Amino acid sequence: MKNKILTGISILFGMMFLNAGLNKLFNYIPVPDNLPEAVVKDNAAMMEISWLLPLIAIVEILGELLVMLPKTRALAAIILFPIAVGILLTHLTVAPEGLVMAIIVWAILLWIIFDNRNKYLLILR
């Protein structure tokens, strides 16, 4: 039962990253007008590096594909970890209104990591 719940949550988690990655590539979600100035500055800085947003988008899409399959979920957690760090730090420092969603992302990611801890222990030995 626990595996089915984790699989369902992983699919939703992956779809969230798929949406974020595709939006970075195709810009289909309108940007709100009331973004904090610090967020606008951060986004402008990232757009200055022309390859950065496409790279993040590809990593998010790849992570989404891997997180949906139980066999590759441990690898997906490693791939999505830096993205989740960026999400959390953004909401801790410049956009606290999204902190609840960032904490939910981290809770799911930590659950996936904890569930696959034996696979990570093999790497560390």
The full set of domain ranges for the chain reads: 2-28+35-124
| pLDDT score, position 69 | 93
76 CB contacts (<8 Å, ≥6 apart)?
A: 14, 63, 64, 65, 66, 67, 112
Task: Read off the pTM.
Answer: 0.91
pLDDT (tens digit, 9 = 90+) per residue, 75-96?
999 999 999 999 999 999 999 9
How far apart (Å, rounded) are the C-alpha atoms in residues 54 and 70? 26
| pLDDT score, position 125 | 85
For the chain, list residues with pLDDT below 50: none
Residue 109 CA neighbour count, 13 Å, CB half: 23
Measured in whole angstroms, how far is the alpha carbon of residue 95 from the centre of its chain? 16
